[in-house]
Amino acid sequence: MNNPLQSPSHIGYADGKYVLPPLPYAYDALEPLMDEATVRLHHDKHHAAYVAGANAAAAKLKEIADGTADAALTTPTVRNLSFHTSGHALHTIFWTNMTPTPKAAPAGPLAAAIEAKFGSLSAMLTVFKAAAAGVEGSGWAILGIDPVSRELVVCGAEKHQNLEIPGLVPLLACDVWEHAYYLLHQNNRAAYIENFVKLINWDDVEARYEAATA
Ligand code: FE
C-alpha cells in the first residue's frame, strides 16, 4: 500500500528539504465558500510555518546525529519533527482535496468502496462531518484506508500527528484548526465543514485511492 504521508512527492520533499507546494488554484478561487484572506494566511503563513519547522527539526536531528548538538534534545526534536511534517503532509493533501470546479460525487473504484463500506456517499459524508465536528480542539477529520483491513475508514487526528488509526493512508483531510475557518465562519465550525464538503475535489480523492491500492 502506498502511503502519501511517506512519499516525498506527495509530502513536498526534494533535495533533502521539505518544500511548500504552490496552491493548485488562485487564493480567491474557492470564494465564497472559503475566503481569500483565510486561504492566503493558511497557505502562506500556517502551512509555510510547518515546512520551516520541519526543516529546522530535521537540521537539529542531523546535529544530534553528528554529535554537534546535545543528545538530550532528541525527544523534543523528534516531537517537533513529527508535528511539523504531519502538518505539512496533511495540508498538502488538504489543498489538493479542494477545487473551484467540484463534481458532485466520486466515480470508479473509490465510489464502489464508499458504497461497500458506508452504503452511500451521503452516509459516508454524514460520518465524515460528524468526525470533523467532534475533533476536540485542533485537528483533522480524515477519510483514509486502514492499513490492516485495507478498508475505508473515517477517523480524526489530534493536532496533526496523532492519527487515531496508526498507519492510516489519508485520502481526504479536512482541517478543523480554527485558523482554517475563523475569519469567515467565526465559531461556526459546522458551516465551514459543510462548505469544505461542497469543494471536495473527488478527482483527487479518486486518484489517491487508486494510487494507494494499486
Ligand atoms: Fe491548517
In the chain, domain spans: 108-213
Which three cell numbers mark 45? 503563513
Residue 7 confidence class, pLDDT cut points 50, 70, 90 = confident
Q: Does domain 108-213 have CATH number 3.40.50.1000?
A: no
- The whole-number pLDDT of residue 2 equals 73
**Cβ atoms < 10 Å from Cβ of 68:** 9
CA of 25 from ligand 1 middle (Å) equals 17
**Residue 34: partners with Cβ closer than 8 Å, 6 or more residues away:** 98, 184, 195, 196, 199
pLDDT single digits (tens) 111-164: 999 999 999 999 999 999 999 999 999 999 999 999 999 999 999 999 999 988
CA of 181 from ligand 1 middle (Å) equals 9
CA of 123 from ligand 1 middle (Å) equals 26
User: CA distances (Å), 181 to each of 22, 96, 119, 138, in order?
Assistant: 20, 17, 30, 12
Q: Model pTM?
A: 0.95
Positions of E strands within the chain: 13-14, 17-18, 139-145, 152-158, 162-163, 169-175
CA of 210 from ligand 1 middle (Å) equals 26
Is the bond leading into 21 cis (omega within 30 degrees of zero)? no
